[in-house]
């Protein structure tokens, strides 16, 4: 009976941890467009940034956290058709904000009728920014702050939540089990049976 209670409790904890970790792993693909941290919005005009490092992971795509220094392909999607009819310029610079450090790449103003801007850049470790300017009236300025080969403590914290909750629930269930009258009665009966067996 006690083994069954413990097994059920552990199964419930494992199921909860699995749900939490699955949710964290697939968060980027399941969130609403407005909640996607790769999206930038000014009024009704939206753009989306994806970064790829096919030399490291052919399937992986990133946004503001790029895992390794080296070559990266940046793809900017002009989500709203209106932006495809505006001249667009892109600057990529080193530093935590626009104006810090040197400009490492500059795509001159051009029209992107297909809605896709693609460029390849080489990054060192550290912070960078991407500034996208749509020359409308008034001009629209979008910014992304990139972290290349840097620890993102927010993501580390989020990844640790599932296992931590699982451990805490396991400890709580174990404590409640040890304190339960049924468990104490079971232990007493087992001790009594063991004593009787030894006296025979």
Going by pLDDT thresholds of 50, 70 and 90, the confidence category of residue 26 is very low
Q: What CATH number matches the domain at 36-150, 3.40.50.300, 3.40.640.10, 3.40.50.620, 2.60.40.1930?
A: 2.60.40.1930
- What tokens does 81 get? 């058709």
What does the pLDDT look like over 104-155, one tens digit per residue? 999 999 999 999 999 999 999 999 999 999 998 889 999 999 999 986 555 5
- Name residue, tokens 């805490």: 168
For the stretch 44-71, pLDDT in tens is: 899 999 999 999 898 888 988 999 999 9
CB atoms within 10 A of CB 79: 18
**What residue spans of the chain are helical by DSSP H?**
2-25, 27-30, 153-179, 181-199
Exposed/middle/buried for residue 96 (C-beta within 10 Å: 0-12, 13-18, 19+): middle
Mean pLDDT of 9-23: 41
Kindly report the pTM of this predicted structure: 0.60
pLDDT in tens, 88-98: 999 999 998 88
- Which residue, 74, 72, 71, 76, is CA-closest to 117? 76
Domain residue ranges of the chain, discontinuous segments joined by +: 2-21+155-194, 36-150
């Amino acid at each position: 009976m006690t083994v069954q209670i413990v097994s059920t409790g552990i199964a419930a904890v494992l199921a909860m941890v699995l749900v939490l970790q699955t949710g964290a792993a697939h968060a980027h693909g399941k969130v609403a467009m407005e909640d996607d941290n790769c999206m930038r919005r000014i009024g009704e005009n939206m753009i989306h940034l994806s970064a790829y490092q096919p030399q490291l992971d052919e399937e992986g795509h990133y946004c503001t956290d790029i895992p390794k220094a080296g070559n990266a392909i940046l793809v900017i999607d002009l989500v709203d058709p209106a932006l495809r009819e505006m001249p667009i310029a892109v600057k990529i610079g080193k530093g935590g904000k626009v104006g810090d450090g040197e400009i490492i790449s500059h795509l001159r103003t051009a029209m992107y009728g297909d809605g896709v801007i693609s460029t390849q850049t080489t990054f060192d470790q550290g912070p960078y920014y991407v500034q996208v300017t749509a020359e409308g009236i008034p001009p629209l300025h979008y910014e992304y702050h990139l972290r290349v080969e840097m620890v993102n403590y927010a993501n580390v914290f989020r990844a640790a939540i599932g296992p931590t909750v699982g451990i805490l629930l396991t400890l709580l269930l174990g404590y409640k089990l040890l304190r339960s009258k049924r468990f104490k009665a079971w232990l007493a009966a087992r001790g009594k049976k063991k004593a009787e067996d030894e006296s025979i």
